[in-house]
Amino acid sequence: MLPHRSFLSIALALALAVASAAAAADWQPTAELGVVNTSGNSDTTSVNGKFALAGEDALWTHDYYLAALRAESEDQLSANRQELGAKAARKLGERAYLGAAARYENDDFAAYAYQATLAVNYGAWLLKDERREFQIEGGPGLRRAELAETGEAENEALLRGFADYRHQFTESTRFFNTLLVEAAPDNRFIQNDIGIAVSINHSLALKAALQARHNTDVPEGVRRTDTLTSVNIVWTPGGTQD
């Protein structure tokens, strides 16, 4: 059985090794934050944020991110999730690539206390022009997870699939839809993010999004699907939207 820390160490070591080999890449940071606070008849507070770092050079592309969600209702914690992801790929011509992806999430209110995945991918841009991009990738990998209810660990192979579609409707408005599938014998995790980003100025944008996360294997009484509706301010030096 692969220990939890060892699994995560492999994923992080892979990401750091590739990143260190691409010190000359052109890096682009992005940060976003959304906060909701109500008081009076009900007191609720929710915060969600994400920091991403993308880099590219002549041979490699890199994508890393850290995301978090926290919510309280009537002074009781109702959501607490952190997620870390990393992707690196070697270009195979102008549109195809071969790479690896790692993802780790910790959620205090989900069927799984944590899930960690590591996969190799072959991907390509099926569509790439000035206004539209459609990217897909897939490949085999490994998954380790711990059931929140029992503490039982799951170690298994998986198939990972990813699709990302973006459409620049106007100079200031972009539509996006991103789908992630991690299919393993014990559980299939599916996440879809759909939304609109509208530029406010050269570096800031307003993003409205709906996220749906689905696990097929959950204990009785636990919902399979979680959704998050968010309106965030996005900061991107250079004016590139999500």
pTM for this entry: 0.85
Sign of the alpha-carbon dihedral angle for 134, 59, 122, 106: negative
pLDDT band at 2 (very low <50, low <70, confident <90, very high): very low
What pLDDT does 29 receive? 93
In angstroms, how far is CA 220 from the centroid of its own chain?
27
pLDDT single digits (tens) 51-84: 999 998 888 999 999 999 999 887 888 889 999 9
Higher pLDDT, 110 or 199: 199
Residue 139 is predicted with a pLDDT of: 97
| SS3 category, 6 | helix
Q: How many CB atoms lie within 10 A of CB 205?
A: 24
Position 24 pLDDT exceeds 90: no
- Residues 35-59: what's their mean pLDDT? 84
The predicted-structure confidence for 164-202, as pLDDT tens digits, reads as follows 999 999 999 999 999 999 999 989 999 999 999 999 998
Which is more confident, 147 or 18? 147
pLDDT at residue number 222: 77
The distance of Cα 96 from the centroid of its chain, to the nearest Å, equals 21
pLDDT of residue 159: 97
Distance, in Å, from the CA atom of 50 to the CA atom of 174, rounded to the nearest integer, reads: 18
DSSP string, 187-233: -EEEEEEEEEEEESSSSEEEEEEEEEEEES---TTS-SEEEEEEEEE
CB atoms inside a 10 Å sphere around CB 97? 21
The rounded mean pLDDT for the chain is 87
pLDDT reported for residue 84: 95
DSSP β-ladder status, 132-147 and 60-73:
unpaired
* 191 touches 215 (CB < 8 A): no
State how far the alpha carbon of 21 is from the alpha carbons of 110, 120, 217, 228, in Å: 36, 18, 39, 36
State yes or no: pLDDT of 160 exceeds 70. Answer: yes
At 123-151, the pLDDT tens digits run: 999 999 989 999 999 999 999 999 888 88
Cross-strand pairs, 44: 38, 73
- For residue 50, how far is the Cα from the chain centroid? 9
Considering the chain, what percentage of its residues have pLDDT values greater than 70? 86
